[in-house]
Amino acid sequence: MTFGEDWGWGAPKEESEKILRVFTDSGGNFIDTSINYTDGTSEKFLGEFLEGDRDRFVVATKYTLSIRKSDPNAGGNHRKNMMRSLETSLERLKTDYVDLYWLHMWDYTTPIEEVMRALDDVVRSGKVHYVGVSDTPAWVVSRANAVAELKGWTPFVGLQVPYSLARRDAERELLPMARSLDLAFCAWGPLAAGLLTGKYTGMSKEKPEGRLSRPDWGVSERGKRIAAEVDRVASEAGCSSAQVALNWVRQQRGVVIPIVGATRPSQMNDNLGCLGFQLNHDQMKRLDEATKIDLGFPHEFLKDDEVRELIFGGTFPLIDNHRT
């Protein structure tokens, strides 16, 4: 999303290519974009950068969001927008296939059956290898995969939603569902738009920029407390705050992949530094306790000791539950 300056922030073409090379020279091969990122500039840049070495990379892009505000056919989850969007993305990316095609956001309008059948069609055509779903309720994803399995269509293999120390609400339904259905979990915003990098606490020399620097976004008191705890762990571990935040995401159970972005090569280098170490048990525990959320009903209700006794009698402590 940072490739291109069309939205008033981000990186110009030359800088974008440098950022990509830092990533690929370090062994990175999974690249995530969208038809609407920087109004199409992101896909166009990537098409030029990857030309001649396309098969080395796992390229993911997305469809759903409108490209013409007055045209109902230019946005949404329906087949017409999907097919048009895919052809547009393939042309920009200078390729004849996409490795992973995401439904970007659920529109609450298109039938699940239409979406899954159309996605199966693009997979069978060879233009898409796998399909995933982003920013969609857990009940929709689970039902969609059940329909796909029943019909013999291509199911979702990945889920992409916001997840970070500052935003853990995915733990209520989405993350448990991903584990249960064996979906790769891609976390966007793992640094909370820069909040967890030390920019807003003075820990980092980087200056605030982009969305969080806008006066109308602001930083909540809870966010400040979380950022301060991340800074403390970073100081003790001898690493950057961003590396702490990324490793907390990486060390969650299951296949959890933080999606990192950068506007400068130095930022990408710092992000990749998280691969050189892991947070210890005490550090993970401190971060969990400083950021935990109330899971609400039915989760908290079903974890209550009295409720467990109603279900299991006195045998719950004797059960080794491999599903937790």
Question: What global pTM score does this model have?
Answer: 0.92
Order of strands across the sheet that contains 256-258: 30-32, 58-63, 98-103, 128-134, 156-162, 184-188, 256-258
pLDDT given for residue 215 in this prediction? 41
Q: What is the pLDDT of residue 321?
A: 83
| Predicted confidence (pLDDT) per residue in 222-269, tens digit | 999 999 999 999 999 999 999 999 999 999 999 999 999 999 999 999
Catalytic residue (one of 37, 63, 130, 200): 37
pLDDT score of 204? 62
Q: What is the pLDDT of residue 213?
A: 45
User: Annotated catalytic, 63?
Assistant: no
What's the first-to-final CA gap in the chain, in angstroms?
35
Residue 1 located in a structural domain: no
Q: Give the DSSP H or E segment for 188.
A: strand 184-188
Assign residue 282 the CATH number of its domain: 3.20.20.100
Q: Is residue 51 domain-resident?
A: yes
Query: What is the domain range of residue 244?
Result: 13-318
Question: Residue 209 to residues 109, 127, 146, 262: CA-CA distances in angstroms?
Answer: 36, 37, 42, 11
pLDDT averaged over every residue in the chain: 94
Ranges of residues in the chain with a pLDDT under 50 are 212-217
**Looking at the domain assignment, is residue 323 inside a domain?**
no
Would you state the pLDDT for residue 201?
78
Residue 8, domain member (yes or no): no
User: pLDDT at position 220, please?
Assistant: 86
Number of domains in the chain: 1
- Tell me, what's the pLDDT at 323? 72
Of 143, 11, 134, the closest CA to residue 62 belongs to: 134
Q: In which residue are the tokens 């959320």 written? A: 293
